[in-house]
């Protein structure tokens, strides 16, 4: 009994504890030790191993293990008795699990499961790789009981490993890969269907799969890309078996951590309808909880969220509202047992952050009442509601709510307000208008926390940001009703403090603007102060004071500091309630960010500035901002900074606000590279096929394809543009269009400028006629800017994009064909008879985008009249090129799960297209395409060296030496290996020599 005496020396207290172990336990431990020593051997280089295939000894050991496991509950898991016995038991079980004797095997599996279950979280202290390996190998077995115990044990081990080091996690992952565990689990799950197996057969394996894909993203692809399995999931969810329905929901939740997985789930209509149905009140709370969780995972980005809400808004909203307010029938406040469900419903209700028709259903299902009831208790049951006018009482009731739901309530209220229509009016029910009370509470709590904030650092700071932000969203709401109500209450509450309240914010701004305080010393405080300041900026009675006290200039200075510093602050890093899933657990989710984006400090500055800039006493010009002839801020720098934001990688929110503020300086829209190219087309006459004639005789030549893509209402109604194709020869017939006498030449030019380039500059005097014309042409994006409407929450800035013209429709007036290299097999075109791969396009777009083609069209050479241009690239490259011409963006490769699991040849085809584009860019003079292509290729080579050799080979063939060089340096260290494997044979001598030289350099550097 060396172990107990060793531990006994450590101290009196511990010794006492160890003595409490009963004699019977000690006996069992001794027997265990003796039994296991019959099979465990010290193997050279491998440490201790179980080496015994004798069935007698194996059974004997299992009996000893079984007896010991039974007494384990009476001993603390950290006791040395346990800690020293477990490794041997794991060793023995791991070995015996490889037995071919069925009865021994079954017993061993069950005992492993029992042992693992009784160890719980403490399993992470032991070496489990071997037992994981043995269990994983057993899973594809035929016996139901073995599968269930195996899956349970594996799941327990993997769940309880806790936070692993990167290396350990990789080692476990390797075991899973080596034993093909994921494939075995999927096979087992697919086999569950004929109804002969017990419920646990599916539930335990599904649970195991969920655990694996939660932790290791790389396995998700194999699950969601297996459509047979997805159908099985759908079938099981349709059976109304509570346990397995929950398992399906949990598994889908884990799958949805992968953006592609989420899309795949949403493609399966029957499955989605089941999932959504599970949020309904007819299901058990435990099922609803999982369904609501899954809904959160499926709505992580605006784009994917819309796939769900387009068809299921009403049901989801009803599910959420049902869970938010189900308790009201029996209680005044949320009962404790309902809190988990209510919390999940609140998380799911964060879907209000995206635009969509679910907003309509939230209102029609009385979300305002549900929010208020959760905030201050069931209103309809409470008689105190009549006395709501007493502010203090109301606030006290708000603070009585201790469910941690308040930050959610404020966020949801803010988003609801932000997405309201201009003429929105709440449904008033009875004497009590829930929305009014909510707005009132938000303003009051915001004021309260702001004042506290000044006196001391209160613990309520986590609520201060959400509530203040909600108030800012209320006062800037498009709904006149909400904006007016919240502004008047906010003003009422701010008035007693006079300018003192404002003063504290100004003081803070001054410190930041002057650089006396580091920009990011306390992001939360900075954000709260800026929101507070923005709220004051929205109140007309304070605007004058703010302007006088140089508030504009200070905000402008802070914006400059934000842009100069490279520090970004997203909202989820400063408020805690939004962090539900750690970012690193997800994969393949693009564009997840909020509308306000990764730099909220900048965003709140822009919000404040946009409130101030619309103040009627201000006059803006390119150089200064004046109020009553006093310069209150210089403008040169500000305009430059706003332009910078427009062209930066910022999110849409900051960009939209920057564009809004710039409209006060006469700039409307965004200047883009494509827009600048298209500006040349404005004055191009040769290819123009329409001529606008004004009533005073002035005329303008335009290109119908551009109008078709960007402003179709300017096109003459009855023209059939198809006719033009028939008159194939140049010069084209140019159709004349007479304009109404109300259209003036200048406004028409400006409209065309915006249509061609997505941008225009305008003096204030010309605003009015242009507004009218923009309305007539239904150019909504321009019209909103001209009317200087605050940007709608969630909207994206209008971009200069002509891809709409590529859709083959009645009015698409294609006048040129681009033909790719290669035969491409049987080719079928809906427009023409050509049997080779080709794209139909428009000369004017090519003319504007590419100097080479421009020269070709002008040259008068035979090719300039040809209807077909042969482009020396393959089909994939050609489609990418054409898309670039029309959208201004070269499509990139997303190195996501799909890409990583793609067949190597498919990957190669994609990458080769960029090599071809890089080559084409050289003699078609497409600098941007060349640079982008290189960038894309390099980033892929860096991520995956397997295809480097093939890309190098291809690039060398096309004389793309830059690619060859980078490729060579990325795989130089593999040179000896490649030579050995014969991989060098396909490369030319020149390239092999480069590789060799680079390898020499590499190894010298290494030594
Ligand atoms: Zn993924
Ligand atoms: Zn065709």
Ligand with an atom nearest the CA of residue 833:
2
Ligand with an atom nearest the CA of residue 838:
2
pLDDT-derived band at 725 (thresholds 50, 70, 90) equals very low
Ligand with an atom nearest the CA of residue 900:
1
| 865 has a pLDDT exceeding 90 | no
pLDDT at 422: 92
Q: Contact at 8 Å (CB) between 949 and 876?
A: no
| 19 has a pLDDT exceeding 80 | no
713 CA to middle of ligand 2, Å? 28
What is the pLDDT averaged over residues 79-83? 86
Ligand with an atom nearest the CA of residue 835:
2
Query: Residue for token digits 């208008």?
Result: 433
**Residue ranges making up the domain that contains 621:** 434-593+600-665
210 CA to middle of ligand 1, Å? 14
Which sign, positive or negative, has the C-alpha torsion 197, 199, 200, 202? positive
Ligand with an atom nearest the CA of residue 216:
1
Cα 941 from Cα 928, distance rounded (Å): 20
Query: Which residues is 692 bridged to in the sheet?
Result: 700, 737
| 36 has a pLDDT exceeding 70 | yes
State the CB neighbour count (10 A cutoff) for residue 472.
28
On average, the pLDDT of the chain sits at: 87
Q: HEC profile for 845-866?
A: HHHHHCHHHHHHHHCCCHHHHC
881 CA to middle of ligand 2, Å? 17
> What are the tokens at 866?
């040809």
Q: Contact at 8 Å (CB) between 490 and 475?
A: yes
For residue 457, count CB atoms less than 10 angstroms from its CB and return exposed for 0-12, middle for 13-18, buried for 19 or more: exposed
| 381 has a pLDDT exceeding 60 | no
Q: What proportion of the chain, given as a percentage, has pLDDT over 70?
A: 92
265 CA to middle of ligand 1, Å? 13
Judged by DSSP in three states, 294 sits in helix
State the CB neighbour count (10 A cutoff) for residue 245.
25
712 CA to middle of ligand 2, Å? 24
Least confident span in 264-278, 561-575, 600-614? 561-575
pLDDT-derived band at 197 (thresholds 50, 70, 90) equals confident
pLDDT at 495: 86
Residue that terminates a domain, selected from 616, 647, 665: 665
704 CA to middle of ligand 2, Å? 20
What is the pLDDT averaged over residues 194-214? 87
Least confident span in 286-300, 522-536, 859-873, 978-992? 859-873
pLDDT at 194: 66
What is the pLDDT averaged over residues 900-926? 93
Ligand with an atom nearest the CA of residue 831:
2
Write out the DSSP string of 703-742. -HHHHHHH-GGGS-TT--THHHHHS-SSSPP-EEEEPPTT
Residue 586 lies in a domain: yes
* Overall number of domains in the chain: 2
pLDDT at 5: 42
**Per-position b or e across 857-874, b if 16+ CB within 10 A of its CB:** beeeeeeeeeeebebebb
Helix (H) or strand (E) holding 987: none
Q: Contact at 8 Å (CB) between 857 and 843?
A: yes
Cα 7 from Cα 15, distance rounded (Å): 7
970 CA to middle of ligand 1, Å? 25
Higher-confidence residue of 194 and 601: namely 601
pLDDT at 193: 67
641 CA to middle of ligand 2, Å? 46
Higher-confidence residue of 29 and 810: namely 29
Residue that terminates a domain, selected from 648, 665, 682: 665
CA nearest 354: which of 312, 412, 405, 297? Answer: 412
912 CA to middle of ligand 2, Å? 24
Ligand with an atom nearest the CA of residue 223:
1
What is the pLDDT averaged over residues 515-530? 80
433 CA to middle of ligand 1, Å? 45
| 416 has a pLDDT exceeding 70 | yes
pLDDT-derived band at 156 (thresholds 50, 70, 90) equals very high
Residue 21 lies in a domain: no
Higher-confidence residue of 11 and 399: namely 399
| 618 has a pLDDT exceeding 90 | no
State the CB neighbour count (10 A cutoff) for residue 276.
22
For residue 400, count CB atoms less than 10 angstroms from its CB and return exposed for 0-12, middle for 13-18, buried for 19 or more: exposed
Cα 485 from Cα 371, distance rounded (Å): 18
Contacts of 713 (CB under 8 A, 6+ apart): 776, 777, 778, 779
932 CA to middle of ligand 2, Å? 28
Cα 59 from Cα 161, distance rounded (Å): 29
pLDDT at 812: 67
Ligand with an atom nearest the CA of residue 840:
2
pLDDT at 453: 59
Please identify every residue whose CB atom is under 5 Å from ligand 1, which is an ion.
Answer: 258, 587-588, 897
pLDDT at 675: 93
Ligand with an atom nearest the CA of residue 585:
1
What is the pLDDT averaged over residues 422-427? 88
> What are the tokens at 443?
């303003």
Residue 686 lies in a domain: no
213 CA to middle of ligand 1, Å? 10
pLDDT at 583: 75
> What are the tokens at 313?
């808004």
- From residue 913, alpha-carbon distances to 815, 836, 840, 944 in Å are 25, 18, 19, 17
Is beta strand 47-50 parallel, antiparallel or unpaired with respect to 40-43?
antiparallel
737 CA to middle of ligand 1, Å? 53
Q: Contact at 8 Å (CB) between 353 and 345?
A: no
| 828 has a pLDDT exceeding 60 | yes
Helices (H), ranges, 20-165 = 23-37, 55-71, 80-96, 102-119, 129-138, 144-160
What is the pLDDT averaged over residues 880-899? 93
Give pLDDT tens digits for 117-145. Answer: 999 888 988 999 999 999 999 988 778 88
What is the pLDDT averaged over residues 731-747? 81
Kindly state the DSSP code that residue 180 receives in the 8-state scheme: T
893 CA to middle of ligand 1, Å? 14
Cα 119 from Cα 641, distance rounded (Å): 60
Ligand with an atom nearest the CA of residue 262:
1
Contacts of 795 (CB under 8 A, 6+ apart): 355, 652, 656
406 CA to middle of ligand 2, Å? 60
863 CA to middle of ligand 2, Å? 19
Residue 127 lies in a domain: no
Q: What share of the chain is helix, strand, coil (3-state, %, to 5)?
A: 65, 5, 30
892 CA to middle of ligand 1, Å? 17
What is the pLDDT averaged over residues 349-370? 94
CA nearest 964: which of 1000, 991, 932, 1002? Answer: 991
CA nearest 554: which of 652, 619, 497, 625? Answer: 625
264 CA to middle of ligand 1, Å? 11
Kindly state the DSSP code that residue 76 receives in the 8-state scheme: -
pLDDT at 731: 47
834 CA to middle of ligand 2, Å? 6
CA nearest 444: which of 402, 480, 403, 496? Answer: 496
Cα 994 from Cα 1005, distance rounded (Å): 17
pLDDT at 290: 96
259 CA to middle of ligand 1, Å? 6
| 216 has a pLDDT exceeding 60 | yes
44 CA to middle of ligand 1, Å? 42
For the range 265-270, what are the long-range contacts, defined as Cβ-Cβ under 8 Å and sequence gap of 24 or more? Answer: 265/224, 265/230, 265/298, 266/298, 266/304, 266/307, 266/308, 268/230, 268/231, 268/234, 270/234, 270/238
Write out the DSSP string of 308-336. HHHHHHHHHHHHHHHHHHGGGGT-SS--G
614 CA to middle of ligand 1, Å? 45
839 CA to middle of ligand 2, Å? 7
pLDDT at 12: 46
702 CA to middle of ligand 2, Å? 25
Is beta strand 618-620 parallel, antiparallel or unpaired with respect to 624-627?
antiparallel
Residue 696 lies in a domain: no
Higher-confidence residue of 387 and 353: namely 353
pLDDT at 280: 93
| 7 has a pLDDT exceeding 50 | no
722 CA to middle of ligand 2, Å? 15
807 CA to middle of ligand 2, Å? 12
217 CA to middle of ligand 1, Å? 6
Least confident span in 346-360, 680-694, 891-905, 936-950? 936-950
Query: Residue for token digits 């801020």?
Result: 633
Ligand with an atom nearest the CA of residue 256:
1
842 CA to middle of ligand 2, Å? 13
267 CA to middle of ligand 2, Å? 31
875 CA to middle of ligand 1, Å? 28
What is the pLDDT averaged over residues 790-801? 89
Ligand with an atom nearest the CA of residue 263:
1
pLDDT-derived band at 116 (thresholds 50, 70, 90) equals very high
pLDDT at 863: 66
Residue 778 lies in a domain: no
φ and ψ at residue 594, rounded to 5 degrees: -65, 170
Ligand with an atom nearest the CA of residue 834:
2
Give pLDDT tens digits for 635-658. Answer: 888 999 999 999 888 889 999 999
219 CA to middle of ligand 1, Å? 9
> What are the tokens at 956?
């060398």
Query: Which residues is 718 bridged to in the sheet?
Result: none
pLDDT at 431: 62
pLDDT at 520: 67
Query: Residue for token digits 């033909």?
Result: 819
909 CA to middle of ligand 1, Å? 22
What is the pLDDT averaged over residues 330-359? 92
| 429 has a pLDDT exceeding 80 | no
Judged by DSSP in three states, 273 sits in helix
Which sign, positive or negative, has the C-alpha torsion 481, 482, 485, 491? negative
In angstroms and rounded to an integer, the radius of gyration of the C-alpha atoms of the chain is 35
Ligand with an atom nearest the CA of residue 812:
2
Residue that terminates a domain, selected from 622, 649, 665: 665
224 CA to middle of ligand 1, Å? 10
CA nearest 148: which of 180, 185, 178, 119? Answer: 185
Least confident span in 233-242, 291-300, 651-660? 233-242
CA nearest 440: which of 471, 400, 409? Answer: 471
802 CA to middle of ligand 2, Å? 19
């Amino acid at each position: 009994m060396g172990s107990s005496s060793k531990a006994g020396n450590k101290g009196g207290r511990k010794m006492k504890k160890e003595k409490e172990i009963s004699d019977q336990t000690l006996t069992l431990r001794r027997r265990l030790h003796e039994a296991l020593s019959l099979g465990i051997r010290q193997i050279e280089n491998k440490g201790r191993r179980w080496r015994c295939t004798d069935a007698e000894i194996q059974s004997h050991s299992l009996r000893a293990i079984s007896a010991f496991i039974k007494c384990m509950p009476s001993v603390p898991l950290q006791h040395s008795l346990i800690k020293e016995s477990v490794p041997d038991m794991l060793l023995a079980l791991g070995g015996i699990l490889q037995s071919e004797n069925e009865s021994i095997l079954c017993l061993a599996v069950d005992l492993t499961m029992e042992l693992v279950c009784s160890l719980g979280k403490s399993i992470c202290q032991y070496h489990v790789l071997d037992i994981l390996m043995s269990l994983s190998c057993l899973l594809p077995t035929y016996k139901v009981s073995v599968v269930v115990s195996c899956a349970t044990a594996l799941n327990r081990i993997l769940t309880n490993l806790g936070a692993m080091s990167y290396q350990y996690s990789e080692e476990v992952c390797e075991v899973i890969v080596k034993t093909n565990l994921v494939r075995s689990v999927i096979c087992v799950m697919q086999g569950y269907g004929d109804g002969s197996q017990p419920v646990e057969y599916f539930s335990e394996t599904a649970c195991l799969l969920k655990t694996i894909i939660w932790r290791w993203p790389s396995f998700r692809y194999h699950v969601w890309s297996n459509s047979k399995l997805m159908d099985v999931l759908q079938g099981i969810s349709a059976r109304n078996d509570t346990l397995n329905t929950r398992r399906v929901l949990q598994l889908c939740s884990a799958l949805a951590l992968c953006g592609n997985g989420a899309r795949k789930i949403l493609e399966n209509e029957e499955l989605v309808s089941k999932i959504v149905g599970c949020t309904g009140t007819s299901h058990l709370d435990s099922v609803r909880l999982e369904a609501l969780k899954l809904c959160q995972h499926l709505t992580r980005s605006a784009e994917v969220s819309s796939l769900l809400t387009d068809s299921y808004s009403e049901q989801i909203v009803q599910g959420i509202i049902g869970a938010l307010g189900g308790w009201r029938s029996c209680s005044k406040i949320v009962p404790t047992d309902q809190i988990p469900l209510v919390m999940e419903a609140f998380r799911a209700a964060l879907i209000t952050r995206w635009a969509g028709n679910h907003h309509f259903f939230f209102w029609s299902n009385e979300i305002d009442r549900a929010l208020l009831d959760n905030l201050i208790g069931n209103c309809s049951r409470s008689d105190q509601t009549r006395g709501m006018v007493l502010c203090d009482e109301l606030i006290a009731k708000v603070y009585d709510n201790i469910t941690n739901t308040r930050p959610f309530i404020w966020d949801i209220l803010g988003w609801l307000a932000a997405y309201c229509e201009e003429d929105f009016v709440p449904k008033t029910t009875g004497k009590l208008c829930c929305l009014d009370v909510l707005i009132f509470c938000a303003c009051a709590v915001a004021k309260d926390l702001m004042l506290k904030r000044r006196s001391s650092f209160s613990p309520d700071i986590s609520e201060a940001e959400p509530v203040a932000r909600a108030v800012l969203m209320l006062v800037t709401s498009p709904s006149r009703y909400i904006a007016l109500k919240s502004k008047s209450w906010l003003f009422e509450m701010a008035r007693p403090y006079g300018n003192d309240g404002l003063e504290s914010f100004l003081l803070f701004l001054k410190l930041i603007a002057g650089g006396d305080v580091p920009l990011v010393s306390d992001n939360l405080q900075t954000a709260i102060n800026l929101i507070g300041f923005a709220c004051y900026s929205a109140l007309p009675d304070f605007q004058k004071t703010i302007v006088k006290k140089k508030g504009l200039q200070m905000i402008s200075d802070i914006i400059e500091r934000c842009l100069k510093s490279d520090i970004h602050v997203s909202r989820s890093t400063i408020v805690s309630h939004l962090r539900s899933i750690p970012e690193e657990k997800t994969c393949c989710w693009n564009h997840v960010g909020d509308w306000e984006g990764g730099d909220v400090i900048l965003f709140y500055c822009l919000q404040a500035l946009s409130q101030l800039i619309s103040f009627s006493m201000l006059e803006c010009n390119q150089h200064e901002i004046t109020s009553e002839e006093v310069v209150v801020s210089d403008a040169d720098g500000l305009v430059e900074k706003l332009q910078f934001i427009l062209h930066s990688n910022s999110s849409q929110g900051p960009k939209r606000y920057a564009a809004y503020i710039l409209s006060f300086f006469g700039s409307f829209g965004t200047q883009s590279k494509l827009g600048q190219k298209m500006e040349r087309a404005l004055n191009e006459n040769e290819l123009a096929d329409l001529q606008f004639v004004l009533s005073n005789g002035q005329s303008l030549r335009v290109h119908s394809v551009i109008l078709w893509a960007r402003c179709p209402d300017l096109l003459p109604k009855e023209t059939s543009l198809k006719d033009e194709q028939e008159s194939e020869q140049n010069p084209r017939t140019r159709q004349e269009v007479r304009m109404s006498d109300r259209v003036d030449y200048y406004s028409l030019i400006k409209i065309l400028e915006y249509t061609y380039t997505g941008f225009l500059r305008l003096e204030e005097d010309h605003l009015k006629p242009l507004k009218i014309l923009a309305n007539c042409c239904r150019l909504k994006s321009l019209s909103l800017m001209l009317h200087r409407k605050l940007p709608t929450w969630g909207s994206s800035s209008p971009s200069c994009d002509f891809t709409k013209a590529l859709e083959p429709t009645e009015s698409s007036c294609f006048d040129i064909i681009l033909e790719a290299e290669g035969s491409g097999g049987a080719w079928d075109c809906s427009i023409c008879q050509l049997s080779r791969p080709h794209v139909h396009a428009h000369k004017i777009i090519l003319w504007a985008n590419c100097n080479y083609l421009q020269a070709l069209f002008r040259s008068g050479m035979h090719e300039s009249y040809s209807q077909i241009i042969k482009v020396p690239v393959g089909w994939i490259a050609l489609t990418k090129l054409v898309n670039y011409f029309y959208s201004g963006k070269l499509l990139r490769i997303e190195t996501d799960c799909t890409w990583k699991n793609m067949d190597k040849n498919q990957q190669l085809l994609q990458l080769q297209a960029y090599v071809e584009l890089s080559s084409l860019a050289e003699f078609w003079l497409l600098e941007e395409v060349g640079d982008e292509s290189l960038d894309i290729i390099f980033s892929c080579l860096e991520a995956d060296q397997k295809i480097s050799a093939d890309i190098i080979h291809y690039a060398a063939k096309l004389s793309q030496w830059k690619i060859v060089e980078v490729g060579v340096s990325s795989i130089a260290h593999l040179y000896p290996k490649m030579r050995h494997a014969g991989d060098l044979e396909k490369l030319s001598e020149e390239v092999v020599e480069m590789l060799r030289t680079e390898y020499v350099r590499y190894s010298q550097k290494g030594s």
